[in-house]
């Protein structure tokens, strides 16, 4: 029976093999297997001398069998065949495992001394001897005929697949070949007219050519076709998600002359920046539209996104609607509440009653807050994940504001939206996102950008303290901190860990951007606090520690004391990365700066220079000059432009990391597509998706695309699409 992409691997390759592929790669269908594309191709025509073989690479050589023997295994069933081959210059060993003596004897006789052939495999080393383990080979029986076959094979690229210790690349190639031989016609996501216009292959041709190319020239057209399939599938799914929101009816939330918004604007002690005005107008227009607003606002650290969000909240409040702002941490939620209350002033705050609701509030205080929210008395609600709880209800939820979207998922946003009747949604992020990443991850949202900064900012100077080259600069960093504090200013010092003596050194706040398996950070806030206690200039100053594992009320008390100027030096983890606003804080010291990502460092730097006090950021690192980790740190020191840094971050880390570890759905969908290299293709796919959906909203006339979306973008993937 012919196979389809939805056929079970149990039917295609047998239950035992299917279980192995499921365990190794989470493959369950033929489509899963066929979307496990080769990561590269070996060229059989590149015949490398044995003495020059690179360890770890898959190569092909022509050689002669010099010796062949077999022996029983001592501690397990089966036998081992040991063969030595040479090419006249060098020699290497071949190792084969056989289930029994008969099989081993056959292999040894097949590889008899004096026989010559083509041998292909991954180069290894054992006891100093170069070897192939279970190589593929073809012996020259009839010398001329075999040479002709070898010459023909020399033009056929060998696919090298992502493999594991339990499933080798040659096994995957065999399984792929088996299902391709039995595969029925493959539905094409692209209409024939579009495919021909774009000069692409059919889906069946693309799968055949990427897995079994006859020549190198077959590979690029196949890759280009499958990348377009990925881009079109993803973009069309995002457009469908956007259209689904637009199909809902929303309650218009208009501002009235003399209402809350107008009174707030009239009382502002400053003028909105051009970008704040433009984005504010876009949001105000969305709030009176026929469908719910679904807008992403990107803005530099300190660019005024909270002000834009507050103006939207007041517009909703004028109709009696409530606005809920969800923040990723208790510290940030508390900071938002204080900031919003301060901006509203004594006249407006009592009218809208900003209310905090978090999971770690005392029970009595939380019940009181929840009652205000449920009754509709609180028109502005700020909280953490506690807002998502079943016990939290709203009288008329009209607007959901999600701060720092990269710390949440779409399922959490939708859980909050479900507490109202198609409320509007405003998503904020201070992490600038490259255009193609935004199109790939937030393609269901309308996007606004705030680039201009409010007037009166004193600016920030950033310097790297490279301890690998200048170890003495470490002492100077703390002298500089003491100088700032002596002038009446305050200092942050951020570490990548809470306590480096514990096995789990990384804080729960947000993992630092370090390679897996790398050594732990040198400094934790506990160790830094101990070290500075004996510092001649800093030891007797007002110093405090702040990290994500402290009780909520304790964290809040520390932050408020720092904001009031009662603490000179705050030693913290990334819990202070976003939203903390202390105008008197002049200096940000980041220890083990190479442990952080570009966007993290940029966010941390944005905590200083927020008022009339000039900002200073010192990035302390032991990373060697020229390393990727050092490049990240140097890039942040080189510019204050977060959007330029986002592009640098993408180049240094690749989109897999930029999309984040939580982006499982997106990353599983991005098999071949690369958001940097394929930016033009993504834009083109977006245009095609809009064109197709405009004429065929249900994809009734595009069954191939409809099926591709159902297959490639599951409900979980759709949820992951909005995590960044």
For 78-126, write each residue's pLDDT tens digit.
888 999 999 888 899 998 888 888 889 999 999 999 888 778 778 888 8
Structure tokens at 583: 């105008």
Arithmetic mean of pLDDT, 539-558:
88
Are 179 and 13 contacting, i.e. CB atoms less than 8 angstroms apart? yes
pLDDT at 660 over 60: no
CA atoms within a 13 Å half-sphere pointing along the CA-CB vector of 177: 11
Q: Which of 44-48, 272-276, 638-642, 694-698 has the lowest mean pLDDT?
A: 44-48
Comparing 14 with 641, which gets the higher pLDDT? Answer: 14
Structure tokens at 69: 């023997």
pLDDT value, residue 718: 45
312 lies in some domain: no
Q: Extract the runs of DSSP E, i.e. beta strands, from 73-143.
A: 79-86, 91-98, 116-126, 129-133, 136-139
596 lies in some domain: yes
> Which residues, in sequence order, are CB contacts of 209 under 8 Å at separation 6+?
201, 218, 219, 221, 222
pLDDT value, residue 517: 38
Q: Backbone dihedral region of 134: left (phi > 0), alpha (psi from -120 to 50 degrees) or beta? A: left
Structure tokens at 180: 């391709």
Percent of the chain with pLDDT strictly greater than 90: 44
pLDDT value, residue 92: 92
Neighbours of 567 (CB within 10 A): 21
688 lies in some domain: no
Write the CATH number for 588: 3.40.50.300
Q: Which of 10-14, 256-260, 681-685, 689-693 has the lowest mean pLDDT?
A: 681-685
Apex 531 CA angle, 527 and 532, nearest 5 = 120
50 lies in some domain: yes
68 lies in some domain: yes
Of the pLDDT bands very low, low, confident and very high (cuts 50, 70, 90), residue 154 is low
Alpha carbons 241 and 721: distance in angstroms, whole number: 10
Mean pLDDT of the chain: 84
Residue after which a domain boundary falls, among 95, 127, 156: 156
pLDDT at 299 over 90: no
pLDDT value, residue 416: 80
Cα radius of gyration rounded to whole Å, the chain: 31
Highest-scoring range by mean pLDDT, 32-36, 158-162, 167-171: 32-36
Alpha carbons 625 and 467: distance in angstroms, whole number: 10
283 lies in some domain: no
pLDDT at 59 over 80: no
Residue after which a domain boundary falls, among 156, 183, 203: 156
Give me the residue label for tokens 């149990």: 10
Q: What is the pLDDT of residues 211-244, one digit of tens each?
A: 999 988 999 999 999 999 989 998 898 888 888 8
Whether pTM > 0.85 for this model: the answer is: no
Give me the residue label for tokens 């604007």: 265
Pairing of strands 397-403, 322-326: parallel
Percent of the chain with pLDDT strictly greater than 70: 86
pLDDT at 512 over 60: no
518 lies in some domain: yes
Alpha carbons 572 and 495: distance in angstroms, whole number: 6
Residue after which a domain boundary falls, among 602, 621, 639: 639
pLDDT value, residue 515: 40
pLDDT value, residue 351: 94
Alpha carbons 692 and 191: distance in angstroms, whole number: 9
Write the CATH number for 56: 2.40.50.140
- Helix (H, G, I), strand (E, B), or coil: what is residue 610? coil
14 lies in some domain: no
Structural domain span for residue 113: 44-156
Alpha carbons 37 and 159: distance in angstroms, whole number: 9
Of the pLDDT bands very low, low, confident and very high (cuts 50, 70, 90), residue 165 is low
Structural domain count of the chain: 2
> Which residues, in sequence order, are CB contacts of 174 under 8 Å at separation 6+?
none
pLDDT value, residue 365: 92
Highest-scoring range by mean pLDDT, 134-138, 239-243, 251-255, 434-438: 251-255
């Amino acid at each position: 029976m012919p196979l389809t992409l939805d056929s079970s691997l149990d039917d295609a390759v047998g239950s035992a093999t299917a279980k192995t592929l499921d365990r190794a790669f989470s493959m369950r269908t033929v489509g899963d297997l066929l979307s496990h594309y080769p990561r590269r191709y070996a060229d059989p025509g590149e015949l490398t001398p044995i003495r020059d073989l690179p360890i770890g690479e898959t190569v092909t050589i022509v050689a002669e069998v010099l010796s062949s023997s077999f022996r029983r295994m001592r501690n397990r069933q089966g036998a081992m065949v040991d063969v030595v081959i040479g090419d006249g210059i060098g020699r290497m060993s071949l190792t084969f495992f056989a289930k029994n003596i008969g099989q081993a004897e056959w292999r040894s006789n097949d590889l008899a001394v004096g026989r010559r052939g083509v041998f292909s495999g991954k180069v290894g080393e054992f006891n100093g001897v170069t070897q192939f383990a279970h190589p593929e080979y073809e012996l020259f029986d009839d010398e001329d005929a075999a040479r002709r076959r070898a010459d023909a094979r020399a033009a056929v690229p060998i696919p090298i697949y992502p493999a594991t210790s339990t499933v080798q690349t040659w096994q995957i190639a065999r399984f792929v070949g088996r299902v391709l031989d039995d595969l029925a016609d493959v539905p094409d996501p692209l209409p024939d007219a579009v495919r021909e216009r774009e000069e692409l292959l059919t889906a069946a041709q693309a799968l055949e050519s990427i897995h079994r190319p006859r020549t190198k020239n077959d590979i690029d057209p196949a890759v280009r076709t499958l990348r377009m399939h990925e881009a079109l599938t993803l973009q069309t799914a995002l457009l469908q998600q956007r259209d689904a929101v637009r199909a809902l009816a929303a309650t218009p939330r208009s501002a009235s002359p003399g209402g809350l918004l107008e009174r707030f604007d009239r009382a502002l002690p400053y003028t909105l920046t051009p970008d704040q005005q433009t984005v504010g107008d876009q949001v105000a227009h969305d709030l009176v539209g026929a469908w719910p607003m679904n807008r992403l606002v990107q803005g530099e650290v300190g660019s005024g996104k909270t002000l834009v969000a507050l103006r939207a909240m007041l517009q909703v409040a004028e109709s009696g609607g409530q606005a809920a702002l969800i923040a990723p941490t208790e510290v940030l939620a508390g900071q938002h509440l204080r900031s919003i209350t301060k901006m509203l002033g004594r006249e407006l705050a009592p009218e809208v009653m900003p209310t905090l609701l978090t999971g770690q509030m005392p029970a009595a205080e939380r019940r009181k807050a929840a009652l205000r929210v449920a009754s509709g008395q609180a028109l502005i609600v700020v909280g953490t994940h506690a807002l998502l709880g079943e016990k939290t209800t709203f009288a008329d939820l009209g607007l959901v504001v999600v701060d720092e979207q990269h710390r949440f998922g779409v399922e959490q946003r939708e859980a909050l939206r479900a507490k109202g009747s198609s409320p509007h949604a405003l998503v904020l992020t201070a992490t600038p996102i490259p255009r193609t990443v935004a199109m790939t991850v937030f393609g269901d949202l309308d996007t606004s950008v705030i680039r201009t900064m409010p007037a009166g900012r004193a600016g920030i100077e950033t310097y790297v303290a490279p301890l690998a080259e200048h170890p003495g600069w470490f002492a100077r960093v703390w002298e500089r901190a003491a100088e700032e504090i002596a002038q009446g200013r305050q200092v942050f010092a951020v570490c990548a860990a809470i306590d480096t003596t514990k096995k789990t050194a990384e804080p729960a706040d947000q993992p630092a951007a370090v390679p897996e398996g790398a050594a732990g950070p040198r400094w934790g806030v506990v160790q830094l606090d101990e070290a500075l206690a004996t510092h001649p200039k800093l030891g007797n100053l007002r110093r405090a520690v702040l990290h994500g594992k402290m009780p909520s009320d304790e964290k809040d008390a520390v932050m408020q004391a720092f904001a009031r100027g009662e603490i000179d030096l705050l030693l913290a983890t990334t819990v202070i990365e976003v939203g903390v606003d202390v105008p008197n804080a002049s200096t940000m010291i980041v220890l083990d700066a190479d442990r952080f990502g570009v966007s993290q460092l940029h966010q941390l730097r944005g905590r200083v220079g927020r008022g009339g006090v000039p900002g200073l950021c010192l990035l302390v690192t032991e990373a060697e000059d020229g390393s990727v980790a050092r490049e990240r740190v140097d890039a942040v020191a080189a510019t204050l432009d977060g959007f330029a840094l986002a592009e640098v971050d993408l180049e240094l880390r690749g989109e897999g990391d930029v999309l984040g570890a939580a982006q499982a759905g997106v990353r599983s969908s991005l098999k071949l597509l690369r958001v940097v290299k394929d930016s033009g293709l993504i834009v083109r796919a977006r245009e095609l998706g809009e064109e197709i959906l405009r004429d065929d909203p249900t994809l009734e006339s595009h069954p191939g695309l409809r099926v591709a979306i159902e297959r490639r973008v599951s409900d979980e993937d759709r949820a992951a699409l909005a995590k960044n």
